[in-house]
Chain A
Amino acid sequence: MPDTGPTLTLHVAALRRYANALEGNRTEADDLVQECLARAIARTKAWSEIRNVRAYLFTILHNLHIDRLSRGRTAGISVPLESVEHRLTTKPAQEEGLQIRDLQRALRVLPDDYRKAVLLVGLEGMSYQEAATTLGVPIGTVMSRLSRGRETLRQLMTKDAHAKLRVVK
């Protein structure tokens, strides 16, 4: 029987992982997941139409995330790439895992909608359709956000790397 017991535990682990990537902060992320689960429990009466528990939980999480953003509790504001470029390229890291840290920073400046598409498909392994259901947008929107998101990340990180090369010289 899907989506109960161990499967549900896996979904919740995925929720925590995803919320952490989305929020960039473990405490905030777990807070978000708790609120998400509480809301899901309160709504189980309406669950007769829910086919995909994972997508549904992620949808609730997204709605909560958006609520928080609109309340201004977190600083997830989208800014144009040009205005943050200098910030991304001024601090050369010197250790291993350099690219990973670059990615972390690049993710932070990625517009929210792009970040969600990149994370749902790339990190959570959702199909485009599942991501579309989760985000409540047409599948075509998921595909274009994913493509723009990945390209933006790639460019951010390429620029980062170039900047570091110049510093090293």
Chain B
Amino acid sequence: MIHRPSPYRQPISEIDLHGYIDGELSAQRRAEVDAYLAAHPDQAARLAAYGSLTLSLHTLYGDGVGGANRTIDSLTADLDRALRRRRMAHRLARVAVAVLVVATGAAVASGVHDRFRQAEDRFLAFTRQATEAHVLFAGNKPVPSDAALDEETAVVTWLSQRLTGVPVRAPDLQAFGYELSVERILPSPGGPAAQLMYESRKSEEPITLFIGKSRDMKPTAFTFVQNDDLSIFYWQEGPFAYSLAGNLDRMELLTLAEEVNAQLVALPPVPKPMVQRPAGESGRAAAEAPPPSVHGKTVGAVPAAAGASTVLGGGLVRPVSNTLDTTTRGIVPEAAKKPAVKAGQGDAEGADAPKPGVTPAPKSEIEAAKKTS
């Protein structure tokens, strides 16, 4: 039987060797380390030495904790009582979270929900959203669009400008063989979030980066969640919350997560986008304003042949007859709607479409104008 290396097969690193003795490797990676150790007796001996170090640690400190200590026992009892009180209060909150998950959960396997329900994490909603987006879109590759390649920084730049006033660029993962292939804005519990999909020439499996607004501006460590084959890291840094998901080995995904974090934190601001929203709009209008680049990009790029479809940021084609929620609707380019109207896809859409020769404007502004007239 021929052994075909996986697309992500990488040289065995120091980290892998330690992960091996600490039980941190996936089954596949463990098998690879097994093979490596069989071929490298010197490394195997070194690992054995680490193993015996660990055993000695237990011999040295593992057994006794010293004699009884009354002060410590009494403090432990106090802490126990305090924790039980706390837990009662917490149980109510957990019920609320479970209700929320059940109420909003739709297309994702229940395993993901269970996982997050257990996690009780404050990123719960954000990460669930990211996972759903990954699961939904990862197997559904969009038609490649030249337009998508023109301004690959656009969506993140727009989002970061809106959230923080400081535009940043999308992380560049080309050094790891990943190309940015899709970018779009999706609704998330904390407002709009950027979804960036990266694809590798070496692999069928894309990875998805989700960037939204940090809830409390507090940086956190990388938190790891595994659901079947899907690995997810999420964390907060600066003004943003991130979630990186992919069918990758944990260590591989971590490397990418650290790279993303390093780039987004260290990056100097880039010049403002070419197309700017007019100043002085209300907060709600801003929330529904289309990302300027997507706007500009798609107007020129989508031919009338798009027919009864709208084209979202990265070129994902969706039927117009789908019910789009507010935020998604906000980024549908007006020019892309027009063919849909011609095809007789609903009067409401037609009423909102801009007249020929008029600069396309966001739906919210048109609605506002309608109400006043």
Q: Is the CB of A30 within 8 A of B87?
A: no
Shortest distance in angstroms between B180's beta carbon and chain A's nearest beta carbon? 23
8 Å CB interface, A7-45 against B: 8-9, 12-13, 16-18, 20-21, 26, 29-30, 33-34, 37-38, 40-41, 44
Q: Is the CB of A100 within 8 A of B59?
A: yes
Name the prevailing secondary structure of the B interface residues: helix
8 Å CB interface, A120-169 against B: 121-123, 127-129, 132-133, 136-140, 143-144, 146-147, 150, 153-154, 157
Q: Is the CB of B57 within 8 A of A1?
A: no
> Which of A44, A123, A154 is within 8 Å of B61, CB to CB?
A123
Residue from B14, B59, B66 whose CB has the most chain A CB atoms within 10 Å: B66
Q: Is the CB of A99 within 8 A of B61?
A: no
Q: Is the CB of A1 within 8 A of B87?
A: yes
For residue B22, which residues in chain A have a CB less than 8 angstroms away from its CB?
Answer: 121, 127-128, 146
> Which of B18, B49, B90, B223 is within 8 Å of A147, CB to CB?
B18
> Is B348 an interface position by the 8 A CB rule?
no
Contact code string A44-59 (vs B, CB < 8 Å = 1, else 0): 1001110101000000
> Is A80 an interface position by the 8 A CB rule?
no
Q: Is the CB of B71 within 8 A of A139?
A: no
Stretch touching chain A among B28-36, B74-82, B109-117, B240-248: B74-82
Q: Is the CB of A122 within 8 A of B66?
A: no
Q: In the bound complex, how far is the Cα of B57 from the Cα of A104, in angstroms?
A: 8
Q: Is the CB of A4 within 8 A of B87?
A: yes
Q: Is the CB of B60 within 8 A of A21?
A: yes
> Is A5 an interface position by the 8 A CB rule?
yes
Size of the B side of the interface (Cβ < 8 Å), in residues, is 48
For residue A21, which residues in chain B have a CB less than 8 angstroms away from its CB?
Answer: 57, 60-61
> Is B72 an interface position by the 8 A CB rule?
yes
> Which of B18, B69, B222 is within 8 Å of A146, CB to CB?
B18
> Is B65 an interface position by the 8 A CB rule?
yes
> Is A81 an interface position by the 8 A CB rule?
no
Shortest distance in angstroms between A11's beta carbon and chain B's nearest beta carbon? 9
Q: In the bound complex, how far is the Cα of B122 from the Cα of A162, in angstroms?
A: 53
> Which of B17, B87, B223 is within 8 Å of A129, CB to CB?
B223
> Which of B18, B54, B56, B80 is within 8 Å of A100, CB to CB?
B56
> Which of B24, B56, B224, B254 is within 8 Å of A99, CB to CB?
B56
> Which of A30, A47, A51, A103 is within 8 Å of B53, CB to CB?
A103
Residue from A18, A29, A44 whose CB has the most chain B CB atoms within 10 Å: A44
> Is B89 an interface position by the 8 A CB rule?
yes
Q: In the bound complex, how far is the Cα of B90 from the Cα of A4, in angstroms?
A: 14
> Is A67 an interface position by the 8 A CB rule?
no
For residue A129, which residues in chain B have a CB less than 8 angstroms away from its CB?
Answer: 222-224
> Which of A20, A122, A139, A147 is within 8 Å of B221, CB to CB?
A139
CB nearest to A1 among chain B residues: B87
8 Å CB interface, B107-158 against A: 119-122
For residue A150, which residues in chain B have a CB less than 8 angstroms away from its CB?
Answer: 18, 50, 53
Q: Is the CB of A30 within 8 A of B221?
A: no
Can you name 20 extra interface pairs (CB under 8 A) apart from A103-B53, A123-B58, A140-B254? A1-B87, A4-B84, A8-B83, A16-B65, A16-B72, A21-B60, A26-B66, A30-B69, A37-B72, A37-B76, A37-B79, A38-B75, A44-B82, A44-B83, A47-B83, A47-B86, A103-B56, A122-B54, A128-B22, A153-B53
Query: A residues touching B (Cβ–Cβ < 8 Å)?
Result: 1, 3-5, 8-9, 12-13, 16-18, 20-21, 26, 29-30, 33-34, 37-38, 40-41, 44, 47-49, 51, 53, 97, 99-100, 103-104, 118-119, 121-123, 127-129, 132-133, 136-140, 143-144, 146-147, 150, 153-154, 157
